[in-house]
Amino acid sequence: MAQRYVRVQTLDGKIFYGLLQIDRRVQVLDAPPWMKGQLTDRVIDAESYQALAPCAPSKIVAVGKNYANHAAEMGTPVPQEPLLFLKPPTTVIAMEAEVVYPSESQQVDYEGELALVIGDRCSHCTPEEAHSKIWGYTIANDVTARDLQRKDGQWTRAKGFDTFCPLGPWVVREINPGARLQTFLNDQPVQSAAISEMVFPPDVLVSYISRVMTLLPGDVVLTGTPAGVGAIGVGDRVRIEIEGIGYLENSVIARTVAPQESQT
Ligand code: MG
């Protein structure tokens, strides 16, 4: 099995990067693995930590309509060059954390995606250079308020709600170029594609993005979703599997109003 790189928080609130063992204990690294973190002697027992998203990106750069069959279901052509947008880092949640359904939207969709984790500062890279800047791979759900995406004309609000980027559960170094991505909504299969069906492959995406903005270690690139996107509701469970990585599962809850917000 591939090495699984995780990020965890111990009961006293400290955050560590580490290697997940078969018995779910975590062997601690002294820095993020993409910052040349080395294994230490410290091992954290499975009962003594909470799993976090596997990295803490300064930004999440996402790509729209990067599978031809998804562009078609949206009723739009495949873009001539990658279509970029940003998700704020505050959208990120871990495996098993809950997506909060915003009261502003009547249609929130799941989007299962392969996520790239950048390992090295990357500016104006060629695709060949970009390939070596991709440290590893994980799974993401690019949760989208579809009605607000249509209404606003640009995507900041639709893609940017807190909890709208489930990410994880861990990072692996390698992925088979033909690996299959599958999404299940309440155990029903809804998306299935090979990641090789992407219009612009990972090295081309990273190169393209790096000519616009410098990618930093730990940054995340979302590579787009295949056909089969659909709506989620409160109580639903979304599970995204990518062959060679594992699966990411999250459920959806209603937004509860905090006491200070309910004051009039
Ligand atoms: Mg997407």
pLDDT tens digit sequence for 51-104 = 999 999 999 999 999 999 988 888 888 889 999 999 999 999 999 999 999 999
d(CA 161, ligand 1 centre) in Å: 14
Look up residue 176 and give its two tokens: 């088979």
pLDDT at 261 over 70: no
d(CA 60, ligand 1 centre) in Å: 11
User: String of b and e for 237-249 (b: at least 16 CB within 10 Å)?
Assistant: ebbbbbeebbebb
Ion ligand 1: residues, Cβ under 5 Å? 111, 142, 225
| CA dist., res. 226 & res. 73, Å (int) | 10
Instruction: Name 44's bridge partners.
Output: 26
pLDDT at 23 over 90: yes
d(CA 39, ligand 1 centre) in Å: 34
- Tell me the average pLDDT of the chain: 96
d(CA 159, ligand 1 centre) in Å: 9
Check residue 53 and give its pLDDT: 98
| CA dist., res. 242 & res. 114, Å (int) | 8
Q: What is Dmax (Cα atoms) for the chain?
A: 57
Check residue 96 and give its pLDDT: 96
Q: Which secondary structure element, helix H or strand E, spans residue 156, and what is its range?
A: helix 156-160
Distance of CA 122 to the CA centre of its chain: 19
pLDDT at 16 over 60: yes
Check residue 71 and give its pLDDT: 84
d(CA 218, ligand 1 centre) in Å: 19
Q: Given CA atoms 143, 146, 151, 155 in this order, what sign does their dihedral have?
A: positive
pLDDT at 215 over 70: yes
d(CA 63, ligand 1 centre) in Å: 6
pTM: 0.96
Where does residue 186 fall: left (phi above 0), alpha (psi -120 to 50 degrees), or beta otherwise?
Answer: left
pLDDT at 229 over 90: yes
Check residue 262 and give its pLDDT: 57
Check residue 34 and give its pLDDT: 97
Check residue 263 and give its pLDDT: 53
pLDDT tens sequence across 109-134: 999 999 999 999 999 999 999 999 99
pLDDT tens sequence across 154-209: 999 999 999 999 999 999 999 999 999 999 999 999 999 999 999 999 999 999 99
d(CA 73, ligand 1 centre) in Å: 13
d(CA 142, ligand 1 centre) in Å: 5
d(CA 140, ligand 1 centre) in Å: 9
